[in-house]
Structure 1
Amino acid sequence: MNMHNPAPPGELLAGWLEDLDMSVTAFAAHLGISRVMLSRILNGHAAVTADMDLRLSEALGTTPGYWLKLQAQRDLWAAGERAKERPPVARIGA
């Protein structure tokens, strides 16, 4: 199964903030998190958690699970890329 390189959730979230003309500091305060935590997500240094997904869903009107699905797609793609560097795991049974 070939997957394309999905955008990190933080990259999409950065576009939302730009469209809303909202600063990282203001949005972090609105979410009730630190600016550092939001910045880590925006820059791809931290993953979206279930708690963060719910906060983003409430703030932006997205469906609960939307941001987690984006994160899972990104994580699966990255794992697939790393898997290319190791021997394949043999299937058990026939």
Structure 2
Amino acid sequence: MSGAELVWWQQVDGEQGLILRRTCKQASHLVLQAEDTVLPIKEKLALRLHLWACTACTRFSSQVRLMRQATARWRHYGDDSSGDGARAPKPPPPGV
């Protein structure tokens, strides 16, 4: 598919529209889907174009990224490999 074909109006899911044009609802779904899988190039490009134009979805994408990073840090909280000295308290032994 050539670049010119991607931007011309075409029939998409029974409606006239641009192939790369996404609504905020569709873009937020793609942001969340990208957390679990690798998006096809067409969807990745459509998402990047939408994020370039939409500040609300860009903010949402940043929040998802921040939550992913915070979750990863929390998952490793208390590991000796972190090097920051933060350790989770040990539970008391049973019967104490």
TM-score (norm 1): 0.36
- Between structure 1 and structure 2, the one with the greater Rg is 2
TM-score (norm 2): 0.36
Structure number with the bigger relative contact order (C-alpha 8 A, sep ≥ 6) is 1
